[in-house]
Amino acid sequence: MRSLSFFTLFALAASIASATLDGRADSSKVGYFFVHFYDREPSIFAHLSNGNNPLSYKALNGDKAILKPTAGTKGARDPYLVSAPDDSKHFIIATDLDIAGIDNDWGRAVTHGSRSIHIWESTDLVSWTDYRLVKVIGENAGMVWAPEAIWDPDRKAFMVHWASRLYADDDSQHTGPATLDRIFRAYTTDFHTFTPAEPYIALDNVPVIDLTILPLGGSSYVRFIKDEKVLRVWQERSDNGLFGTWRRIGSGYVVDEVTEGPLVFEDNKEKGLVHLFLDAYKEARGYVPFQTNDINSGRWTRSSTSGFPTLLKHGVVKPVNKAQYKAIQDRWG
């Protein structure tokens, strides 16, 4: 974790940053580390960008898993990599689900699914240790899906969020009606202990999953979330923090296609350029890349897929510096 002096400097920098400074290019970043899973195996896989190209990647470790869970269902989906604000420590968290292990029974997955998440940690992005499975919500939840985390400077802790549906407290077998899918959140500083789960996004008549959040600087954020009723992703923005007023960007959805698992990141070289990958899961294509030069417009264009890998599922892209890029390449390249 950061020292007090770093917190002070970080707060000062945030107060100087304007909410208009969206899409910060970073000359210290030389590539991208793409962590994901495949339908063929619920484990943690990874790709590394070819140079500083956010749309061209090579498979790492011979396209074999870099991490395999050994607890819970022994299946890991939807991996997310989050780093401390000073980049000194990194965590990979993932859904505890092996859908093939329950005969692809999605009904069972949402009624009697795991309420825990897989966790690994590292100081260098290549040596992942202290693997554990941690429960994050109570017995009345049917599942915990797609956990992600973001640093909350107001709480000086990570806000971890995921999708769950809840059953009545007296319905231990989960045979009765459940709530719609909602986004829950909890706080942690070490990914060992978590505050009690609380609702974060609970909408009337709209089931939601697969939330991802992009910080824009200061108190501004953009988030993407899947509407499970229409199977599409929409975009929102807040300029007064993670618990501020969120306004929808655009009149509809990011793209009028069946998609899920949004991942979003800023370009290392071109300021204002933002990349969004969406999983076109109904077509079994995996991620499809989109981009925009105006994060506030709601207009996304399809990116070039030359050099873009296929069949990659719900994950995260982390921009990396020269030392990190070399370490990843040396370890798994």
Q: What is the pLDDT of residue 23?
A: 52
Residue 8 has pLDDT above 60, yes or no: no
Q: What is the mean pLDDT of the chain?
A: 93
pLDDT for 7: 38
pLDDT score at 251 = 81
CA 212/CA 76 separation, integer angstroms: 18
Query: Residue 319 pairs with which residues in a beta bridge?
Result: 32
Q: Which domains does the chain have, with CATH numbers?
A: 4-13+21-332 (2.115.10.20)
Between 129 and 17, name the one with better pLDDT: 129
Look at residues 143, 202, 141, 193 and name the one whose alpha carbon lies nearest to residue 169. Answer: 141
Residue 155 pLDDT > 70, yes or no? yes
pLDDT digits (tens, 9 = 90+) for 209-233: 999 999 999 999 999 999 999 999 9
Kindly tell me if the per-residue pLDDT of 25 is higher than 90: no
Q: Does 9 have pLDDT greater than 50?
A: no
Percent of the chain with pLDDT over 90: 91
Task: Kindly state the average pLDDT of the residues 183-207.
Answer: 98
Query: Comparing 21-25, 262-266, 267-271, which segment has the lowest mean pLDDT?
Result: 21-25
Q: φ and ψ at 330, to 5 degrees? A: -65, -35
26-57 per-position pLDDT tens digit: 899 999 999 999 999 999 999 999 999 999 99
Q: How does pLDDT run across 118-152, given as a tens digit for each residue?
A: 999 999 999 999 999 999 999 999 999 999 999 99
Please give the average per-residue pLDDT across 288-301, as a whole number. 97
In this prediction, residue 19 carries a pLDDT of 37
Q: Which two tokens stand for residue 129?
A: 């240790």
